[in-house]
Amino acid sequence: ELALYFPVVRTALERAAQALHGRLPRPLGSYLFPPPAFTEEERRDHKAALTDTRIAQPALGAADLAALALLRSLGVDAELLAGHSYGEYVALGAAGVFSESGLLAVSAERGRLLAEPPDGVASAMAAIGAPAAAVAELLAELKGVTLANHNSPEQCVISGSSEAIDAAVASLSARQLVVKKIAVSAAFHSPLMAYAQEPLTQAVHAAGVAAPQRPVFSNLDAAPYPPQAAGI
């Protein structure tokens, strides 16, 4: 809706679509703005197409860049930056580490890599309304599940194979915990993603990085990224 009312948003999305041309199965706009759905099945199909990791990663990048463009056009900017999970890439882009086209290229490659595990095993994530320490104790009884995110003092996220996550959801729900599977198609922030590390590193090198123009705080250790491009 913002794209309809703010030309700066529309322009940012158009730039993103051009940068992603040839990297996605079809134009970005067809995922962000699909034709009207007249049946529940069509609505599900549209949602599934957009939340597919191959599309969701660059689509998130495009939407975040559009929001950033809108904020800056209104004179709003940040002195410090951070991003949650994939959003950390956008935070680096906002700090000048990645160009817009470089960020979107890395995003598309990241989505492709994470959606195509070499062993073909389906994986998943689930959010739990409980402290991470308590969940960690319960996970000791469950195989193949990783404590992936500490989102807040009262919420964390687990990752693992789809089979392991389904078993964990059933077990934790039986203990009266609030558990909900997340609409993603991979076990982010877990050892199951290790295969993507080297090719993703190559993609970052290919995109090129510059020294950050302002501090960016990392999800991993809550510390700022190093000021030198090589350290990133």
Residue type, 232: I
Q: Which residues contact 73 (CB under 8 A, 6 or more apart)?
A: 6, 8
Catalytic residue ranges: 85, 189
| 164-169: Cβ within 8 A, 24+ apart | 165/123, 165/124, 165/125, 165/126, 166/124, 167/142, 168/126, 168/139, 168/142, 169/126
User: Is the Cβ–Cβ distance between 109 and 199 less than 8 Å?
Assistant: yes
What is the Cα–Cα distance from 53 to 55, expressed in whole angstroms? 5
